Amino acid sequence: MHRFQKSNKLLLFIAFGFILFLLSNRVDELRVYQGASIAVYVIAISSIILLTGYSGQVSLGHGALLAIGAYSAAVARNEFNVPVVLCFFIAVLAAAFGGVLLGVAAARLTGPYLAGATLALAIGLPSLANQFTILGGEQGLIFDVGFPPLSLGEDFTQYKWFFWISALAALISMWLLSNVLRSRFGQNWRAGRSHEVAAQLAGINTGRSKILAFTISAGVAGLSGALLSMTIGTVSPSAFPLALSFSLLTGAVLSGVTTLSGVMIGAVTLVAIPEIADVIANRIGASERITTNLPGLIVSTLLIITVLFVPHGPVEQHRSRKAKKLLQKKN
Amino acid sequence: MIQLINTLLIGITAGSIYALMAIAIVLVWRSTRVINFAQAGMALLSTYFGYEAMVHLNSFWIALPVAMIGGAAVAAFIELVFMRFLLKRSAHGAISGVAPIIATLGLLGVIRSLTSSIWGGQDVRIVGPVSNVGYSLGANTLAFSPLKLLILVTVIVLVLLLSLLFQKSNMGLSLRASAFSPEIARLSGIRVNGVRTLGWSLAGASGAVAGMFQTVNGNGSFSPDSIEFSLLLVSGFIAAVIGGLDSLVGAVIGGLVLGLVISFVLMYINSSLFFIAPFVILLIVLFVRPQGIIGAKAARRA
């Protein structure tokens, strides 16, 4: 496993951002919009990787945390006219607060119990949004970040503006997360996941460390929720169905939950699946009811196949194969 | 007074259906130590089997066994070709703890989207064999109909049959032995793998009955996007956890407790708490008595 020097890694992120910037000027509108979706999914999936792969907790309720972020950003924007940048920070803070509450509960639960509890939350929470008039009921709220600044030129489109915002947010949060995961906290999480008792004997407060993981993961999820509602333009209960939580989990498993470096794989796949499903449906001339259900079918099938055959994700698989080859050479 | 009685009756009927779902979860947990989040999906599929039988043969009493047999077959198939393979492959490694959870969720997604693409997303209707108009008590109408009585009686009969099977038959003995310790059971000559498949198919049948009754007890319609389905998805798990995951009696008690609490919350507090109430109950139980009402102290560790 090679490690970059910190400054080198920062340069790498900046270079990647620059490439994205060049790309965004060359591709058409649809691709730019998909790019924005990929950036949003990258953030959401990395929050699940942090939680599941590093600290070993399963959450099926991340859709609910995304919803918290999206709603709080929209309320801050509509009711209090907060600047857009601050809205995103508010989304992070609100979702992180929800994450603390959930994390305190989660730290006392193990595996299937936590999964079931968060599942119940994911089903329950969005329906609560209908109860408060400030949240706009079934129609939801409008979340408008405004037009791109004029200084960017006349023909700078709205979608490109979305892409810039979400790609920048994704780059910054990836940079921060990769550092957090390498830090003492990241090591504590992994220790607690591998062997809780051993970690405790080594002086790690595993309960507190789990709550911290949940909080950070929730904050990141909140950011992606706010960005998601930015690209859609509205926030409503139906934008955060149980299927969203499931597809995020699928994205995380596809990327390989034990490492952050594969996160693009999952995000690109999630965005590509509807298109692939379209192509397949056209090719076989499927009826409408099959066409609408094909994306869901592909997502779930991929999830099962990955869990069965590449449980640690393609990146880790590649790494361990390389390590094996090296060993054989030495012998 | 009449409102109190009605709330109780509604709660008990709904609770008996949740109890069936909980029994399904418990049966699978005892046989493979996996929480089957796909159980509701399997119940959905079996309900559609029952619906097909209703359409072609027009009798609820044929549709119910068809759904049960179909559910058992699907469950056995899943255990044979899928769970065995999964448990063998994901026995170790960093995500061994979460792999079965994720896999059953994937299964839920597959079953759900398959069902919607075969039958379409629309509601299907299943008419109960007897009327769902409440008995009248003096001037009041009770929230208890011949249909609800039938559901209650059927559930009681099924639970009694199941406990007879577990307590009095050789098959039940091997089921209990494999749940207690697979290794020792194997040493004493029990085919643990076969017993696991049996546990799954019993669970599939039990879930099928829950799906059929949930449909006729509601407004008679059912679809993958309906409230009835979401309710089955969480209620079985929550009721099983309340009961301690390891005991059939606990599952029945858990189902009844859940049904009664939801019914009282709806009637006396606020109907919008419909979905958040089960979550709160679950958290309270997990904090106050994590081993469940009946479960042994060690149940949570397994």
pLDDT at B202 over 90: yes
Per-residue pLDDT tens over the stretch B213-238: 888 887 777 777 777 777 888 888 88
Which pLDDT value is given to residue A221?
A: 93
Mean pLDDT of chain B: 84
For the segment B98-111, the average pLDDT, to the nearest whole number, is 87
A106, B282 in Cβ contact below 8 A? no
Which pair of tokens denotes residue B283? 């958290």
Which pair of tokens denotes residue A1? 């496993």
User: Which residues of A, range 262-321, sit inside 8 Å of B by Cβ?
Assistant: 289-290, 292-294, 296-297, 299-301, 303-304, 307-309, 311-312
Q: Is the ipTM of this complex over 0.90?
A: no
Collect all residues with Cβ–Cβ distance below 8 Å to A121 and sequence separation of at least 6. A61, A64, A102, B279
Ranking A64-68, A254-258, B123-127 by mean pLDDT, the lowest is B123-127
Which pLDDT value is given to residue B42?
A: 92
In chain A the first and final C-alpha atoms are separated, in Å, by 20
pLDDT at B92 over 70: no
Q: Does A105 touch chain B (CB under 8 A)?
A: yes
For the segment A73-87, the average pLDDT, to the nearest whole number, is 84
Per-residue pLDDT tens over the stretch A266-303: 888 888 888 888 888 888 776 777 778 888 888 888 88
Q: Do A124 and B94 touch (CB under 8 A)?
A: no
Which pLDDT value is given to residue B300?
A: 42
Per-residue pLDDT tens over the stretch B248-293: 888 999 999 999 998 888 888 877 777 788 888 888 887 777 666 6
Which pLDDT value is given to residue A5?
A: 58
Q: Where are the domains of chain B?
A: 2-300
pLDDT at B297 over 50: no
> Between A and B, how many CB-CB pairs are < 8 A?
152
Which pLDDT value is given to residue B121?
A: 66
Cα–Cα–Cα angle for B84, B86, B91, nearest 5°?
100
pLDDT at B80 over 70: yes
At B62 the three-state DSSP class reads helix
Length of chain A: 331
pLDDT at B298 over 70: no
Q: Looking at CA atoms only, how far is residue A16 from chain B in angstroms?
A: 30
d(CA A36, CA A231) in angstroms, rounded, equals 8
Q: Do A115 and B108 touch (CB under 8 A)?
A: no
Q: Do B117 and A194 touch (CB under 8 A)?
A: no
Q: Looking at CA atoms only, how far is residue B110 from chain A in angstroms?
A: 5
Q: Do A124 and B290 touch (CB under 8 A)?
A: no
Q: Looking at CA atoms only, how far is residue B157 from chain A in angstroms?
A: 29
Q: Do A311 and B99 touch (CB under 8 A)?
A: yes
pLDDT at B145 over 90: no
Which pLDDT value is given to residue B294?
A: 65
pLDDT at A223 over 90: yes
d(CA B180, CA B174) in angstroms, rounded, equals 10
The enclosing H or E element of B30 equals: helix B2-32
pLDDT at B296 over 70: no
The beta-carbon neighbor of A300 closest among B34, B110, B121 is B110
